A and B are shown apart, each in its own frame.
Chain A
Amino acid sequence: MNRQPWHDAAEAVLLPLLALAGALLMFGLWVSLGGHDPVQACTLLFTGAFGDAFSWQNTLQRSAPLMLTALCVALPARAGLTIIGGEGALVLGGLACAGLPYVVHLPGNGVGMSILLLAAALAGAAWIALAGALRQYRGVNETISSLLLGYIAIALFKHVVEGPMRDPASLNKPSTLPLDEALRIGSIGSWDVHWGLAFGVVLCLASALWLGRSTHGFATRVVGGNARAARLVGLPAHRLIVTACALGGAAAGLAGGIEVAAVHTAANASLIAGLGYAGILVSFVARHNPLAVIPVAILFGGFGAAGSLLQRRMGLPDASVQVLLGFAFVLILAGEALRGRLLPFPFLAMRPLLRAKPA
């Protein structure tokens, strides 16, 4: 096979597209088995996710927190660790954001807002760094420990929100005191999408730059590739791994902080909505590549937006979107087996023969 340089790039685009087309086909079949119109379903999927300005805002808004929670999986993964406890970092980030005004008075402007988000990021960073440190210095499996730490974080969150930090006015929905109006995050211009989206995109780009263009990022990838070899060449593996964990945790913590400051206005159990777990899926589908996290998160947000419309228009159960999601992600991951083999199309080599025949 004479492989050309552009084949890699073309494959990177073609593979996910083919996987999505396959998923839609399977979904259509599944829908028609249930007695619904598959064409209408697919049209609605597109309309709901990307059909007009409202759909785009819907999709992007849903994707914003996923970009950040996906980074919590992607960054440690590039250092060789499988962290799945982003939910814990997210709720602690939210708690830190809602809790800081209890202890210090913050100026009601951009500075105060930045301090809040910094606190959220630090809380998340500390939690995931703990999972990394437990693994590096104590030999505790990081996948299990991060998951369990997540449960501890949620329990802690509920205890504090429903106990010492509870706003006495929050009768049937225990919450912390609401954030001051001036400390909340607004929407981007006239768009109905909050600034969390910008944080997500910028941090994904920054992470890609860090991993791909900086010495530190390169060292992290070397450690992730082979920690023993990295140590042999004198790289501080422990430190690099814990740093990657902390950076990932900071992203998830920030996601929690943004959820509180932009959406919920206070920390309460509504924050525990599984955004941290959804980030795991996003990161795996994006193959832990921060640049790929952006489109995958948007796709994921799109499924959410489309599912919403699909339910309302066709009366399909929510589970149907989960089915589509399942098809899509299984095919995207299975499509990886074709990477490097899809192009040049083996059957295209036959084309001259076909052309030779008179029409």
Chain B
Amino acid sequence: MSTDLSRRRALAQLSAASLAGISPWALAQKALTVGVIYVGPRDDFGYNQAHAECAAELKKMSGVKIVEEENVPETQAVQKTMQGMIAQDGATLLFPTSFGYFDPHMLEVAKKNPGVRFSHCGGMWTKGKHPDNTGSFFGYIDEAQYLNGVVAGHMSKSKKIAFVAAKPIPQVLRNINAYTLGARSVDPKITCNVIFTGDWSMAVKEAEATNSLADQGCDVFTMHVDGPKVVVETAAKRGKMVCGYHASQAKLAPQAYLTGAEWNWLTAYKLIIDAARTGKPHPNFVRGGLKDGFVKTSAYGPAVSAAAKANADAVKAKMMAGTFDVYAGELKDNSGKVMIPKGTTIKLTDPSLEGMNYLVEGVVGKI
């Protein structure tokens, strides 16, 4: 009796399995498991939160299962996390979001798992050099930092604005320059003081830098560090104004917060996930700006003047129409050397910008 039962059950299972195997809808119903890896905490009011908010949105999509892990250092730990997501959770698409995950960690794991898609945030994926199952996406957030600068230019009374930066690397320098250019488009007398803290998450140094910049008379702050919380709160405490970065920090300082440069990762994530679900080739090199919906600006805070709003909105409209260039000649660096000659513009898509190594005129600071 019992053998009979088990045989019957086995037969039923077998037929069910073969049915599932041949029917195309069963394949489509199979959820796509997507792994998202963060280098810091998911609620850092910054870089990681911007990604985590996007992952939270993705969880609402049907047919997509999200597995997440936070605080993963850029060591063998992240390699093990990626392999764990593949082996233990069955993930077939991974989003390692920290810059340092790209080389060697993601490339190493990708070599061992050719059937899994990897999409990295920020890395310079190059055809021929990096595997085809890997890729990178990023946004031209310098556009949004330019708009931060325009608002800052209107709101600054001391004509001195401030930037707290992590490291003098191209991605950061682009933001400092765009912010300064935006402010100086309002008033060419404005200068921007910059302090580099040396690393992505240095709460104490970020507070010290903010205080020191406030002491020097700067009155509008922005930043490029992983978690802008400290800079925002410190500046607000000192009675200064702030433009946010990565995500909205309006909640932290509702009165002092003017606007902010935010990521809108959902656009990129959806594009890459859709390709994975429909079996299209993996989008290896994904980039976009304001008009592509890769970045966005925070809603204006209560302190922002009507003139500032009007000016920033006008520039934003041009950016949305694709008729505005952040980096246009003549552009000098802060030692007076001409970097972009008169009449020339460099499009945001130009790869030369990914190697930016100077500070524009008006920035007080050294690389």
Q: Contacting B100 at CB < 8 Å: which of A270, A305, A312, A313?
A: A270
> Bound state CA distance, A62 and B89, in angstroms?
20
| Distance from B108 Cβ to chain A, minimum over Cβ atoms (Å) | 9
| Distance from A126 Cβ to chain B, minimum over Cβ atoms (Å) | 24
Q: Are B70 and A273 in contact (CB under 8 A)?
A: no
**Per-position 1/0 for B71-96, Cβ under 8 A of A:** 11111110111011101110000000
Q: Contacting B69 at CB < 8 Å: which of A194, A265, A308?
A: A308
Q: Are A312 and B83 in contact (CB under 8 A)?
A: no
Tell yes or no: B322 within 8 A of A by CB.
no
Binds A, one of B167-175, B179-187, B265-273, B299-307: B167-175
**Per-position 1/0 for B159-177, Cβ under 8 A of A:** 0000000010111000000
Residues of A close to B41: CB separation below 8 A: 317-318
Tell yes or no: A238 within 8 A of B by CB.
no
Q: Are A308 and B80 in contact (CB under 8 A)?
A: yes
Tell yes or no: A141 within 8 A of B by CB.
no
> Bound state CA distance, A26 and B124, in angstroms?
46
Q: Are A312 and B88 in contact (CB under 8 A)?
A: yes
| Distance from B57 Cβ to chain A, minimum over Cβ atoms (Å) | 15
Q: Are A62 and B80 in contact (CB under 8 A)?
A: yes
Residues of B close to A263: CB separation below 8 A: 75-76, 79, 104
Tell yes or no: B103 within 8 A of A by CB.
yes
Q: Contacting A312 at CB < 8 Å: which of B67, B102, B124?
A: B67
**Per-position 1/0 for A232-252, Cβ under 8 A of B:** 000000000000000000000
Tell yes or no: A171 within 8 A of B by CB.
yes
Q: Are A54 and B84 in contact (CB under 8 A)?
A: yes
Tell yes or no: A304 within 8 A of B by CB.
yes
Residues of A close to B199: CB separation below 8 A: 158, 269
Q: Are B70 and A312 in contact (CB under 8 A)?
A: no
**Per-position 1/0 for B350-364, Cβ under 8 A of A:** 000011000000000
> Bound state CA distance, A173 and B100, in angstroms?
7
Q: Are A309 and B76 in contact (CB under 8 A)?
A: no
Tell yes or no: B68 within 8 A of A by CB.
yes
Tell yes or no: A5 within 8 A of B by CB.
no
> Bound state CA distance, A56 and B318, in angstroms?
56
Q: Are B68 and A172 in contact (CB under 8 A)?
A: no
Which A residues from 33 to 62 make CB contacts under 8 A with B? 48, 54, 58, 61-62
> Bound state CA distance, A304 and B71, in angstroms?
11
Q: Are B100 and A308 in contact (CB under 8 A)?
A: no
Which A residues from 156 to 214 make CB contacts under 8 A with B? 158, 162, 171-174, 192, 194
Q: Contacting B355 at CB < 8 Å: which of A171, A173, A194, A304?
A: A171
Q: Contacting B73 at CB < 8 Å: which of A171, A273, A313, A317?
A: A273
Q: Are A312 and B89 in contact (CB under 8 A)?
A: yes
Q: Are A317 and B42 in contact (CB under 8 A)?
A: yes
> Bound state CA distance, A57 and B207, in angstroms?
41
Residues of A close to B171: CB separation below 8 A: 172
| Distance from A235 Cβ to chain B, minimum over Cβ atoms (Å) | 41
Please classify how large the interface on chain B is, using the bins under 10, 10 to 19, 20 to 34, 35 or more.
Answer: 35 or more
Residues of A close to B69: CB separation below 8 A: 308, 311-312, 318
**Per-position 1/0 for B118-134, Cβ under 8 A of A:** 00001010000000000
Residues of B close to A312: CB separation below 8 A: 35, 67-69, 84-85, 88-89
Q: Are B75 and A259 in contact (CB under 8 A)?
A: yes
| Distance from B59 Cβ to chain A, minimum over Cβ atoms (Å) | 10
Q: Are A311 and B68 in contact (CB under 8 A)?
A: yes
> Bound state CA distance, A241 and B335, in angstroms?
53
| Distance from B99 Cβ to chain A, minimum over Cβ atoms (Å) | 6
Q: Are B170 and A311 in contact (CB under 8 A)?
A: no
Residues of A close to B70: CB separation below 8 A: 311, 317-318
Q: Are A173 and B103 in contact (CB under 8 A)?
A: yes
Q: Contacting B198 at CB < 8 Å: which of A158, A171, A268, A304?
A: A158
Tell yes or no: A7 within 8 A of B by CB.
no
Q: Are A174 and B83 in contact (CB under 8 A)?
A: no
Chain A residue with minimal CB distance to B199? A269
- Asked, given contacts A171-B355, A264-B104, whether A162 binds B68 with beta carbons under 8 Å apart, the answer is no
Q: Contacting B99 at CB < 8 Å: which of A173, A259, A275, A309?
A: A173
Residues of B close to A352: CB separation below 8 A: none
Which one of A173, A174, A263, A275 has the greatest number of beta carbons of chain B within 10 Å? A173
Q: Are A309 and B170 in contact (CB under 8 A)?
A: no
Tell yes or no: A358 within 8 A of B by CB.
no
| Distance from A325 Cβ to chain B, minimum over Cβ atoms (Å) | 13
| Distance from A317 Cβ to chain B, minimum over Cβ atoms (Å) | 7
Q: Are B169 and A171 in contact (CB under 8 A)?
A: yes
Q: Are A270 and B83 in contact (CB under 8 A)?
A: no
> Bound state CA distance, A33 and B109, in angstroms?
37
Q: Are B88 and A172 in contact (CB under 8 A)?
A: no
Residues of A close to B99: CB separation below 8 A: 172-173
Tell yes or no: A139 within 8 A of B by CB.
no
> Bound state CA distance, A304 and B69, in angstroms?
12
Which one of A265, A274, A312 has the greatest number of beta carbons of chain B within 10 Å? A312
Residues of A close to B79: CB separation below 8 A: 263
Q: Are A174 and B167 in contact (CB under 8 A)?
A: yes
Closest 5 CB pairs of A and B: A270-B74, A318-B71, A273-B73, A312-B67, A311-B69
Which A residues fall within an 8 A CB radius of B? 48, 54, 58, 61-62, 158, 162, 171-174, 192, 194, 259, 263-265, 268-271, 273-275, 304-305, 308-309, 311-313, 315, 317-318
Which B residues fall within an 8 A CB radius of A? 35, 41-42, 67-77, 79-81, 83-85, 87-89, 99-100, 102-104, 122, 124, 167, 169-171, 198-199, 354-355
Return 11 A-B CB contacts under 8 Å, by A number.
A61-B80, A158-B199, A171-B354, A173-B102, A173-B169, A192-B83, A269-B199, A273-B73, A305-B84, A312-B35, A313-B89
Taking A171-B354, A173-B169, A311-B70 as known contacts, 14 extra A-B pairs with beta carbons closer than 8 A to each other, sorted by chain A number, are A48-B84, A62-B76, A171-B124, A172-B122, A173-B103, A192-B83, A264-B75, A269-B100, A273-B74, A305-B80, A308-B81, A311-B68, A312-B88, A317-B41
